Amino acid sequence: MQEFHKILGVKAEMGRWLPLAAGLIIMLCLGAIYAYSVVAVPLRKVFEASHPEGYSLKVTATEMQSPFIVFLLVFALTMPLMGKYIDKYGPRKVAILGAIFVGLGWFSASFANSPITLAFLYGVIGGLGVGITYNCPIVTTARWFPDKRGLAVGLTLLGFGFSAAIVSPLVDFLAANFGVRAMFQILGIVFFFFMFISALFLRLPPADWKPAGWKPNPKNAASATRNELTRNEIVKTGSFYALWICYTVGTLTGLMAIGVSKSVGLEVAANAGISETETSALLTTLIIPFACCNGFGRPLFGWMTDKLAPRKTAVISFLLIILASLLISTNITSISAYIIAFAILWLNLGGWLAIAPASTANFFGTKDYSRNYGLVFTAYGAGAVIGNILAGQAKDMFGTYLMVFPYIMVLALLGTIVAAAMKPPKVSS
């Protein structure tokens, strides 16, 4: 059996870092959706440009958010359906299929001429690709690292969060030098290539594999996996619903912030008397540190989940969200306040994308993990819809995205209350 405990001839305790690295690269490609606020600015101008027939298309804030909402919703609804296929066919084959859809989605987006067509070409096709692929690296990493699951899953997901730091300046460069439509085509080809190559390194360990000499720490018994629940069983526990509500609130704040980062920055600059011309490049550049916060929030909050347990980590996250929302709501002319607030919001989105998968494994086990986390992950889709509709409606009704933050504070307070009551399910006798 020893050959099954090696990866490319390397002892599994060391070789398991290879599929983790491959998963991180895949996540870098999938997370390009987080650069949407940068993509949307030149794209809106393309949509509003005069058509050959001589009329101009006026795009509302809510309409411009629709491709982003559709993408995230399709992603969130597709991912739960893929668990059984990952178990049946393995993460490698499923990830290759996802790579095809991701590449096709970005490439075909170049043919969109309105938010509606972009919502289908980019949102539906690209969202399918991300939904098909997303759980492949997570399932692989979670099974290879039972000894440091939160940290390892967080490191894998770092790629998804950090992606915007690479893609945002690349979007600006490609759009400026080759045009918006060519930008979509180039990125589609690049994403497919890197995802396909990386998918070849994904493989699952033998059933019940554990690192040599490792035993669960009895001090972390409340967090250690002791239940092995199926999807049908977890929906009968209060733990599932508490985690789902917290995940919804945690992601809706971050996804809202990501979808309107540059637009809110432009509003704050305008309030301070600074023109778009003076701040546009700076606001695009700020996506890089924001994305770093999002990326590093995953291993940071994953580590915190391992050490503090999900409940305490979730409460900390919601308190930070309340602080960030209060800061920007009371400093609408301060670029510094905007930077600090959005860095916190991006950090906490990354945090929830580590808290939730690690909590799912800790609460409900890993044998049916892909299906269980798929169901929990529907909260991400709910958060994407609620958060971005709130932002779009705030802009359309009040003339500013900044009016969304009082609502965010109320929702984060609700999340704090639910998180404080969140506990693992009782162990079956």
> Is residue 29 included in any domain, yes or no?
yes
pLDDT of 45: 80
Nearest residue to 115 (alpha-carbon basis) of 378, 388, 386, 387: 388
> Is residue 2 included in any domain, yes or no?
no
pLDDT of 169: 87
pLDDT of 1 over the 50 cut = no
Mean residue pLDDT across the chain: 85
Query: How many whole angstroms separate alpha carbon 304 and alpha carbon 299?
Result: 8
- For residues 1 and 316, the model is more confident at 316
Domain total for the chain?
1
Query: How many whole angstroms separate alpha carbon 358 and alpha carbon 366?
Result: 10
Mean pLDDT confidence for 326-337: 94
Phi, psi of 423 (to 5 degrees): -135, 155
pLDDT of 128 over the 80 cut = yes
64 neighbors 44 (Cβ within 8 angstroms):
yes
Query: How many whole angstroms separate alpha carbon 342 and alpha carbon 354?
Result: 19
Q: What confidence tier does 328 reach under pLDDT thresholds 50, 70, 90?
A: very high
> Is residue 220 included in any domain, yes or no?
no
Task: Enumerate the H helices of 200-309 as residue ranges.
Answer: 231-234, 238-271, 276-308
pLDDT of 274 over the 50 cut = yes
299 neighbors 161 (Cβ within 8 angstroms):
no
Mean pLDDT confidence for 328-356: 92
pLDDT of 221: 46
Q: What confidence tier does 225 reach under pLDDT thresholds 50, 70, 90?
A: very low
> Is residue 215 included in any domain, yes or no?
no
Mean pLDDT confidence for 373-402: 88
Query: How many whole angstroms separate alpha carbon 387 and alpha carbon 389?
Result: 6
Crossing angle for the helix pair 91-108 and 17-30, nearest 10 degrees? 20
pLDDT of 13 over the 90 cut = no
- For residues 208 and 167, the model is more confident at 167
pLDDT of 370: 74
> What's the residue count for the chain?
429
Please give the single-letter amino acid code of residue 337: A
Q: Assign residue 158 the CATH number of its domain.
A: 1.20.1250.20
Q: What confidence tier does 51 reach under pLDDT thresholds 50, 70, 90?
A: low
Domain hosting 244: range is 7-209+228-420
Element (H, E) at 113: none
Other beta carbons within 10 Å of 45: 11
The winner for highest mean pLDDT among 123-132, 209-218, 369-378 is 123-132
Query: How many whole angstroms separate alpha carbon 116 and alpha carbon 102?
Result: 19
In the chain, the percentage of residues whose pLDDT exceeds 70 is 92
In the chain, the percentage of residues whose pLDDT exceeds 90 is 40
* pTM of the complete model: 0.76
pLDDT of 57 over the 70 cut = no
The winner for highest mean pLDDT among 206-220, 241-255, 293-307, 377-391 is 241-255
pLDDT of 296: 84
> Is residue 311 included in any domain, yes or no?
yes
> Is residue 408 included in any domain, yes or no?
yes
State both tokens at 69: 């909402």
Nearest residue to 261 (alpha-carbon basis) of 118, 404, 48: 404
> Is residue 113 included in any domain, yes or no?
yes
Please give the single-letter amino acid code of residue 177: N
Mean pLDDT confidence for 327-347: 94
Q: What is the pLDDT of residues 308-321, one digit of tens each?
A: 888 899 999 999 99
pLDDT of 114: 85
- For residues 8 and 415, the model is more confident at 415
328 neighbors 247 (Cβ within 8 angstroms):
no
Q: What is the pLDDT of residues 132-152, one digit of tens each?
A: 999 899 889 888 888 877 778
> Is residue 45 included in any domain, yes or no?
yes
Please give the single-letter amino acid code of residue 265: G
